[in-house]
Chain A
Amino acid sequence: MARDRLDDMPTAEALVPLPRRTPALAEGLLADPRLSDVDEWGRSEHLRSLARRLYAPVYRHWFRVEWDGLDKIPAEGGALLVANHAGAIPPDALVVMHGIEEEMGRPVYGLSDDIFKEWPVVGTLWSRLGGVGAHPDNALRLLRQGQLVLVFPEGTRATSKPWAERYQLRRFGRGGFVEIAMRAGVPVVPIAVVGAEESMPVIATIPWLARLLRVPYVPVTLNQALLGPLGTFVHLPVKIRLRVLDPVRSAAPPGQSRYPRAMVLEEAEAIRANLQRAIYAMLGERRSVWLG
């Protein structure tokens, strides 16, 4: 083995003057003298816990978040969390990540459009707080590392949709998320979110401004109409309820480079329909947007 060869080399012949073989090396582990806790994806648990402390009052007192079936999320191993997405600035990602990290003590990596990465400071913070670019390879690697990965398969199609179409799930992309879960051999855990739609309803979008700013959409929201410029960032104090549905584990063998398109689309559609049913059921049970 190469290591034996290196270790057998007398010190004098080493290319770099270095202390020989540290104890960590002997155990087959390399010394990794890090100064920060930023992981290979850019997430820092230290900054996450700081952010959670800041966000806790919003979570608890503003949105008064309530979970149903949190125990269905695997306590260990990879799982792909799939939720519906809503609100001009969607609060759901933060709520799901905060809730699971607080309740289960497991990190959640949120996949999203890389748009934030382009912006100074914002992109760095987004990455430190668990944001990862929504590339299939990133998702696959995270899942194989046994992490929880949160995706919103509807993407910005959901967050830019008009008020009249609230709680109507958009197309789940091309089902790519199902294929990744199959390949990684992990379950898909659907999460139905109710309340986010009313937290920042979109009245209109300004396509030309979106093109100019190179962002997916520029919304005009009810919040802006009520609160003025402040409304751009402040959500309405809606009650947010989340329901975790039964994990879906595909029968397809993991590790394949391709899966039949029909099977992938069928499974994606089944998950979408199931999530849609759960949302309608939750809406039926809801008495008030504000009190839940």
Chain B
Amino acid sequence: MGRRVLVTGLATSWGAQVAKALEADSDVELVVGVDREAPRMTLERTEHVPSDGSYAALARIVADTQVDTIVHPSLVLDSTRVSGPALHELNVIGTTNLLAAATAGTSVRQVVVRSSTLVYGSALRDPVWWGEDMVRTSPASNEVERSLVEVEACLADFAEENPGMQVSLLRLAEVVGPAVDSPVTRCLRRGIVPCIAGFDPLVQLVAQEDALGAIELVVRRQLPGTYNVAGDGRLPWSEVAAICGARLAPLPPVLTTVVAAPLTQAGLLDVPPELLSLLRYGTGADNQALKQAGFAYRFTSAGAARNFAQASQSASQSARPASHSSEVTA
């Protein structure tokens, strides 16, 4: 019998991409996608089931569809889009309701949550590389990180309370890809990326293709546990910008948040607080555990940047003649 998988946030890019990846898997018999709105991309066989934003009614959907797996790829990691109480509602309350729904019936055997390496933080005295078993040293200083810490704590409790459940937690490094909409990808596409003057931190990227592949692998193999998902190697932030042909916009090293906030608010730059700590000290996550579990990355960190640059270049090139011809017809 095939797998029956429920994917959250179907109207978000992440939810839709994960659903699409699972559709391609012949072992997956049913893909159910929940969200308030219908998906924005065409999906072949995913069934959209309307739900509320924080999944309060999810238990009923789980009971109706008898899914054996819940994939939760749609945590919000971008405070320029959702912030304040709404962010807490979506991430923390949403996950709490989702976990409650997972145990309401007896059908669910696996829960997969997409988190981020933001959960490790990025502080002065931190080690260069984070392993899955390590805990951040600095208090979470922004709402995205705080909500991730809370979500992961909920998930750890859930795993402890439900020893029969396969709980998989994926911590993704900064994801880049043609379909990714994040502060970093928006800046890179715009051609102007923020940096902090005098700092050129080393960052790690992961291609969205690899991120989706990792989620699919974890579902397919029913792998429990926590895994960092990050491309090999780290590279200077300035090099990421150079690969993508973007210019650096330096922010002052002192009072950085004070300067960054109005710029972000005005839509001139996308420098939410969760990006700022990264731009100072950088970060690295050890990706050995997932490799040992059998995952083969297709891109290194630099490869992910290059792939993103090429994809967005060809996208803008194919977009230009189209707009040109429409001008002609008009």
* Chain A positions near chain B (C-beta within 8 angstroms): 1-3, 6, 9, 13-18, 25, 30-36, 38, 40-42, 114, 117-124, 127, 132-133, 135-138, 141
Contacts and interface: CB of A to CB of B under 8 A. Distances in A.
B129 A1 contact: no
B306 interface: yes
Nearest to A120: B198
A120 to B, nearest CB: 2
B235 A38 contact: yes
A40 B284 contact: yes
Nearest to B217: A2
B296 A6 contact: yes
A17 to B, nearest CB: 7
Contacts, number: 114
Interface residues of B, number: 51
A138 B306 CA distance: 28
A69 B177 CA distance: 53
B213 A6 contact: yes
Given A32-B233, A40-B234, A123-B199, 4 more contacts: A33-B243, A34-B239, A38-B235, A40-B202
Contact of A36 (B235, B297, B306): B235
B239 A38 contact: yes
A106 B145 CA distance: 40
Contacts of B52: none
- Residue picked from B17, B208, B235, B297, most chain A C-beta under 10 Å: B235
Interface in B158-198: 177-179, 196-198
A31 B302 CA distance: 9
Contacts of B179: 15
A16 B284 contact: no
A17 B179 CA distance: 11
B124 A18 contact: no
B24 interface: yes
Interface string B249-292: 00001000000000000000000000000000100100000000
A20 to B, nearest CB: 10
A13 B199 contact: no
Contact of B236 (A30, A38, A114, A121): A38
A138 B242 contact: no
